[in-house]
Amino acid sequence: MKGRKCPVCGKEVNGRSDKRFCSDECRIFYNNSLGRTRRARNRKQLGAIRSNIMELERADAKFMLKILSWISKVFRVISSIFKFRNERE
C-alpha cells in the first residue's frame, strides 16, 4: 500500500501494510506522548474527583454543624423549661 504517512513526522511509511510509523523513533515518540496525554487526563480527572470529595466533606461538615446547633438549641429550651419549673417551686 502506498501513500501512507507517518503520523509523527509525515514521512512515507514503507513495509508491512499494518505498519503505522516510518521508524522505531517515531513509534516510540508517539506512544510516549500518548502516555503523557493519558496521564495528564488522569491527573485532571483525579483533580476534579478530589475537589468533588472536598466539596462533599464541606457540605457534610456544614450539615453536622447544623445538627449540633439544633441539638444545642433543644438543650437550651429544655434547660430553660427546667429553670422555669425550679423558679416556680
Half-sphere exposure of 34 (CA within 13 A, CB side): 8
| Binding-residue pattern over the window 47 to 86 for Zn ion, x denoting contact by CB under 5 A | ----------------------------------------
The kind and range of the H/E element at 89 are: none
Which of 6-14, 38-46, 51-59, 68-76 is the region at the interface with Zn ion (rule: CB under 5 A)? 6-14
| Binding-residue pattern over the window 12 to 31 for Zn ion, x denoting contact by CB under 5 A | ----------x---x-----
Please state the separation of Cα 48 from the chain's center in Å: 3
Please, what sign has the CA dihedral across residues 11, 14, 19, 23? negative
The residue ranges that bind Zn ion (CB under 5 A) are: 6, 8-9, 11, 22, 26
